[in-house]
Structure 1
Amino acid sequence: MKSIADEISLLITTYNNPNFLDIVLKSVLAQRVLPKEVIIADDGSGQPTHELIQQYQKIFPVPLLHAWIPDEGFRASKVRNVAVAQSSGQYIVMIDGDIVIGPTFIQDHRMLMKPGRFVTGSRARLMQKATEALCRKKTHHVSFWNPGLRRRLVLLRIPFMHYLIKGNSGTKRARSCNLGVWRTDYIKVNGFEEKFIGWGFEDWEFVQRLYNIGLVRKNAKMLAPAIHLFHPYKNASRAEINEQMLHHTRESKKTRAEIGIDQYL
């Protein structure tokens, strides 16, 4: 019987990619320490994703919840808020539906969670042919020596080295694909800003508001390894508008989302 981190809810965003979600869920099942629950934040996926989640719900050793919203375009901010509102853990660990996590991922985030800070992690990149091969095999296993792997040093887990490497500051490489935050802090900043629609900068803006309430960033260097599966880039037509909203949050020291999680609590 595996141990369970009763404090942690794992949130996985997804949209119409059951092949990736299947691999990601397999990597969750392989955790040495499981989260207390897994919540699929589903931005409007169709029936194949629903059926996959139902299959996994039958075998998952912890609750597997499905937070779904209708498909109205890229609404990652909204679906994260809906999912977190359904969570029961004290601490939220977020990944995207294209992130395969190493077996110590939850264990490492549990070690890093401390009041007054949030945690950001890195991810290696699996290139297109290697990702396609992984999907054909339907496996989550990726080794350090896997062909087609970029930024493979991210997969090195050396806990004592973690304390010697500071990592990035500000919003640089602070992405929601590997992010840990206390639920109370998430609610304090009113979650993700739902004025962000389309791809781009909604996670940086969220992190900036965490800074604006006085939290400290901790980088999970040499811990919590993860791998990003290849996919074509999202439609970035809203990126410029979204970046302007990020700049406004920095300059105004904004702390709360105007349209946020409070509407679902």
Structure 2
Amino acid sequence: MKISVIISTYNSPAWLEKVLWGYECQTFKDFEVVIADDGSGEPTRQLIEQFKQAGTLNIIHVWHEDRGFQKSEILNKATVAASGDYLIYSDGDCIPRKDFVEVHRLKAEVGYFLSGGYFMLPMDTSKAIEKDDILNGSAFDVQWLSEHGLPNTFKTMKLTSTGFKERFLNFITPTKPTWNGHNASGWKKDILAVNGYNEQMQYGGQDRELGERLVNKGIRGKQIRYSAICVHLDHKRGYKTPESIQKNQNIRKETRQQKKVWTAFGIQKTAAPPTTL
């Protein structure tokens, strides 16, 4: 099973650098990184080139011109460019714990996609994290995070749960196993079978809609929110608008009601899947 990690980004090189250091120190090494770049400028390109030259990661940089928020489109392009049989999707503001890729690899199962979550950090804590904190694991240590501005809440269980407790919390969580763009994975053949992301959709649920088509196709979600851990760096969301949220909700409602498995606005711009002989 060849694995590709697809990371979305847009003009956030400081956060992307921390994320790439997270992938540099993974316990499982045999994967490629495909950066789905929604039109970032020169600083992001230079950062990626630095990692290509000096790091150990096998990086493919997929970029298109900045035309506003076109995350679904660039993710589709990155999906096509990925050579893996199995694809892990995350964001350029989510630092993976050292076992992130290995957890996805070990829990991958035919007929399923994996549904993970994230642990949200406040801005002060996000800024405090340095390269060494990622490499030595401090960025996932509750005490270190608390010393650098993280409020102490019950949600820190996500960072500390292992073994039986981890499996038990995955089982009892009321959160449904949805396709979450910051932490989800599935077989490339399944994603292609539903035609990838719907490029009509802007910010707000475009990842969930892909998951709903996978479910309509018979691919079930499996919960790993307490197993595959990433910390989410804080940032503004200027691209979030009431109009985009409402439009996406309408598309998702139609997908669920009509049990759609294919979007005409995905990787292939066709109303129905191509007929196979």
TM-score normalized with structure 1 length: 0.90
Amino acid at match of 1:252: Q
Other-structure match for 1:144: 142
Give, in whole Å, the separation in 2 of the partners of 1:170 and 1:57. 34
Note the alpha carbon deviations across 1:192-248, whole angstroms, 9 max, x for none.
011113x11101101111110011111114311110001113432211111111111
CA RMSD after TM alignment: 1.7
Give, in whole Å, the separation in 2 of the partners of 1:138 and 1:51. 21
Give, in whole Å, the separation in 2 of the partners of 1:29 and 1:157. 23
User: Quick check: 1:95 aligned with 2:90?
Assistant: yes
Shift of 1:126: 0.8
Note the alpha carbon deviations across 1:105-139, whole angstroms, 9 max, x for none.
0110011100000001121111011112226x785
Shift of 1:32: 0.6
Structure 1: gaps spanning 5 or more residues: 1-5
Aligned-partner SS, 1:115: coil
Amino acid at match of 2:120: R
Q: 2:157 aligns with which of 139, 145, 153?
A: 153
User: Quick check: 1:180 aligned with 2:185?
Assistant: yes
Amino acid at match of 1:191: G
- The residue correspondences of 1:117-128 to structure 2 (distance < 5 A) are 117-128=112-123
- The residue correspondences of 1:168-247 to structure 2 (distance < 5 A) are 168-169=175-176, 171=178, 174-197=179-202, 199-237=203-241, 238-247=244-253
* Contact preservation (8 Å) 2:114, 2:177: no
Structure 2: gaps spanning 5 or more residues: 270-277
How many positions carry a matched residue from both structures?
254
Give, in whole Å, the separation in 1 of the partners of 2:65 and 2:30. 27
* Contact preservation (8 Å) 1:93, 1:178: yes
Give, in whole Å, the separation in 1 of the partners of 2:83 and 2:60. 11
Shift of 1:154: 1.5
Shift of 1:162: 4.0
Shift of 1:180: 0.5
Give, in whole Å, the separation in 2 of the partners of 1:213 and 1:234. 34
Note the alpha carbon deviations across 1:20-46, whole angstroms, 9 max, x for none.
000000000010112420010000000
User: Quick check: 1:113 aligned with 2:108?
Assistant: yes
TM-score normalized with structure 2 length: 0.86
Shift of 1:61: 2.3
Give, in whole Å, the separation in 2 of the partners of 1:235 and 1:61. 33
User: Which moved further from structure 2: 160-169 or 224-233?
Assistant: 160-169
Q: 2:267 aligns with which of 258, 261, 264?
A: 261
Other-structure match for 1:3: none
Give, in whole Å, the separation in 2 of the partners of 1:251 and 1:170. 19
Note the alpha carbon deviations across 1:129-164, whole angstroms, 9 max, x for none.
1112226x7853412221233632211241333443
Aligned-partner SS, 1:262: coil
Amino acid at match of 1:71: D
CA gap of 1:99–1:225, structure 2 versus 1, over 3 A, is: same
Note the alpha carbon deviations across 1:74-124, whole angstroms, 9 max, x for none.
111100100010111110001111100000001100111000000011211
* Contact preservation (8 Å) 2:158, 2:229: yes
Structure with the bigger percentage of strand: 1
Deviation above 4 Å: which 4+ runs of structure 1?
A: none
Amino acid at match of 1:230: D
- The residue correspondences of 1:48-63 to structure 2 (distance < 5 A) are 48-63=43-58
* Contact preservation (8 Å) 1:10, 1:35: no
Other-structure match for 1:82: 77
Other-structure match for 1:26: 21
Aligned-partner SS, 1:246: helix
* Contact preservation (8 Å) 1:35, 1:106: no
